[in-house]
Chain A
Amino acid sequence: MNLQPGAGYGFTSSGYGISIDSSNPFPDDTVRTRTPFYVIVLGVVSGGLRYQVVSGTLNNLVPEMDDVVSSTEMLLDHTTEGVPTPPTGVLSFNTTTKESWVYLRSGPEAAAPYAFPDPSISNATYPKVISSDVELSDTDTEGYVLLAKIDTDNASSPTVWTVFQYVSNSLWGDRLKLGTNTARYYYARI
């Protein structure tokens, strides 16, 4: 019989023999096994706290995100040779509150057929995950869903951080605008 280490357990050996190490029964999984829009903080690279977001959909569209590694925009479900290679972003922290807000931003098409969200990935109103150092409010052209908030100990060189996850499902969204009032955006999880 062969025993091999797996998720949640491993082996340690010493002069007293081999023992099972189950000190981390629920290891922090990758983007493959988390719920939609789950924010994963990867750690500090080049002074910035990097993060990834598990893929989800808004009205059946997979959002995009700026990838700091390739300096391009990528869809959250980006893969390479069948292996998830999602975009990696850098969290933007408020220097006073040491908070960062991760939003799903999207807006309607500016011209007919006026779909929400804009299905054209080349437009700025296509769904996109962004990090902001301030809280954002809806406008006529863009609505924001707060996916998560990250608090840290030091905005410029974080060493400790906590993720508050607020969305864990893909979403349906609708936009309603009454006259000159700012458009309202309504979401339901699926």
Chain B
Amino acid sequence: MGEFIGDSAVHSTWAPLRGVVARGGSVIFGDHNTTYPSGSGWFKTIEGNGLIRRRTFAGNPELFFLEGTAPSEDFFAFNSLVDPYPAELVGKTVTTSTSSFTMIADAFTIGQPAGLNGTSPITSVEWFEPLP
């Protein structure tokens, strides 16, 4: 069953169903009030109001990157995205401070190999930018 926006404090407006992408930043929460600090701890969309849809209680979509040691590849995952974003982001580029790779469908489910010699943190994701 769907949710009635405006029916309760949790589903007060569509704003609680929107967020930015987390890379590991802090956030200031209050009732009906969220402030994401500047910097690369959070990524906003380049277009529009910077927000993407998210599940109500799942929190923000989150980037995960784990450095590997050759011959093991680095590991990348883009968690908690809702449709249609996973399909639309396949083939887009992720950049770390020393490497770049393209996202495949596995990135949004089980995670994907991400090449060699990548160094944390992720510095950019195509279609997204750090908060100003």
Interface residue ranges, A against B (CB under 8 Å): 59, 108-109, 112-117, 172-181, 183-184, 186-190
Contacts and interface: CB of A to CB of B under 8 A. Distances in A.
B30 A174 contact: no
B75 interface: no
A89 B55 CA distance: 43
Contacts of B32: 59, 115-117, 172-175
B29 interface: yes
Contacts of B132: 178-181
B58 interface: no
A189 B12 CA distance: 9
A174 B13 contact: yes
A174 B6 contact: no
A117 B34 CA distance: 12
B34 A175 contact: yes
B69 interface: no
A189 B7 CA distance: 9
B36 A59 contact: no
Interface of B: 5-7, 9, 12-16, 18, 20, 28-39, 42, 44, 49-51, 131-132
Interface centre among A108, A112, A116, A174 (most CB of B within 10 A): A174
Given A186-B14, A187-B13, A177 B35 contact: yes
Given A179-B39, A188-B12, A113 B6 contact: no
B6 to A, nearest CB: 4
A177 B38 CA distance: 10
Nearest to B36: A178
Contacts of A179: 36-39, 42, 44, 131-132
Contact of B13 (A108, A114, A115, A172): A172
B53 to A, nearest CB: 13
Contact of B9 (A113, A117, A172, A189): A172
B13 to A, nearest CB: 4
B34 A176 contact: yes
A65 to B, nearest CB: 22
